[in-house]
Amino acid sequence: MTSIGIDIGGTSIKAVRLGVDSVVEQDDEVPYTGTPGEMIGQVADLVSSLRRPATGSVGVGVAGLVRWPEGVFVWGPHVRGENLAMGERLAELLGLPVVVDNDANCAALAELRLGAAMGCQNAVVMTLGTGIGAGIIAGGAVYRGESFAGEAGHMTMIPDGDPCECGRRGCWETLVSGRRFGEEARRLMRIDPRGALATIVGGAEPNGSFLGLAAAAGDVGARDAVIEAGRWLGRGVANLVSILDPEMIVVGGAAVAVGELLIDTAREEAVRSVEGSSHRQPVRIEVARCGPRAGAIGAGLLALDGLKS
């Protein structure tokens, strides 16, 4: 029996088909576009393209507040729609069981079963994409609270700071996220349109990976931007460590593309910032292993779990 996993983010929708031993047999990706109806249609089309006779269920991870286990997408700052009965609507369209969860919860499940958090009882899996998501693992299972646990990207870090897509100001994801990396790259290119960063980017859309490459090549502005982002990443991680005391923090998404300078800076800043650091084990910040398809893989695993229950 196979399953299909879908990951709906603010810029793209990723899909995988999981086969025997949860191996990815096929994957696909399309840009995220527009209205809730268009989103449902995109998901249905992806499922149809990956579906095989042995496909028994579909899992969907979506960036935002998802009411568990009903599968209702309540709201999200980067994905359009409110109180959308996504699981029910997709099940009717596809004629298959559909389970819907938050995308970071799905990524956490993937890292717990197949990735960096294997063997952990307590961990946090952070996904840096358009914003920041956090899947919490407690007692060896994904912890959802009443439904919406893990919205760490909207911790207030700077009161009256930069506007956030959620409608508030100074959220953590305004300081370090895929969106922020792209903004920093564009800012630096405006300052120095013939600099190392502009040369590396060429005619492509600037993103975090280009920022990391420019920093590694010695571009001072890019290096400073990466270090500053790493400090904010570490400060937020310290908050999570103080509250949750996990065995490790797993960081994936755009942070991995930026590179080791970001992660190393975050490790150092987390140690400096966490309460009682001299009396704790050093904060373990590990790079995610399931790659950019972690959310889709985790959604597929969630769907397979439904078949077994």
Helical axes 178-191 vs 208-216, angle rounded to 10°: 60
Could you give the C-alpha distances from 130 to 43, 70, 125, 180, 187, in angstroms and in order? 19, 25, 16, 8, 17
Q: Is 254 exposed, middle or buried (0-12, 13-18, 19+ CB in 10 A)?
A: buried
Give the tens place of pLDDT for each residue, 138-176: 999 999 999 999 999 999 999 999 999 999 999 999 999
> Could you give the percent of the chain with pLDDT greater than 70?
100
Q: What is the DSSP string of 197-221?
A: HHHHHTTSPP-HHHHHHHHHTT-HH
Mean pLDDT, rounded, for 76-102? 97
Could you give the C-alpha distances from 115 to 45, 78, 242, 251, in angstroms and in order? 29, 26, 24, 11
The model's confidence at residue 309, banded by pLDDT at 50, 70 and 90, is low
Instruction: Quote the pLDDT of residue 206.
Output: 84
The residues, any chain, with a CB within 8 Å of residue 92's CB and separated by 6 or more, are none
Instruction: Quote the pLDDT of residue 272.
Output: 95
pTM above threshold 0.85: yes
Given a contact cutoff of 8 angstroms between Cβ atoms, the answer to whether 94 and 110 are in contact is no
Instruction: Quote the pLDDT of residue 84.
Output: 98
Mean pLDDT, rounded, for 7-18? 97
C-alpha–C-alpha distance, residues 225 and 303, integer Å: 40
Instruction: Quote the pLDDT of residue 297.
Output: 98
Q: Domains of the chain (ranges plus CATH)?
A: 2-103+292-308 (3.30.420.40), 116-288 (3.30.420.40)
Mean pLDDT of the chain: 95
Task: Give the strand pairing for 141-143 and 248-253.
Answer: unpaired
The model's confidence at residue 306, banded by pLDDT at 50, 70 and 90, is confident
Instruction: Quote the pLDDT of residue 246.
Output: 97
Instruction: Quote the pLDDT of residue 283.
Output: 80
Nearest to 170 by CA among 178, 161, 179, 180: 161
The answer to whether residue 221 scores a pLDDT higher than 90 is yes
The answer to whether residue 216 scores a pLDDT higher than 90 is yes
Beta bridge partners of 171: 156
The answer to whether residue 203 scores a pLDDT higher than 90 is no
- Residue 69: asked if its preceding bond is cis (omega within 30°), the reply is yes
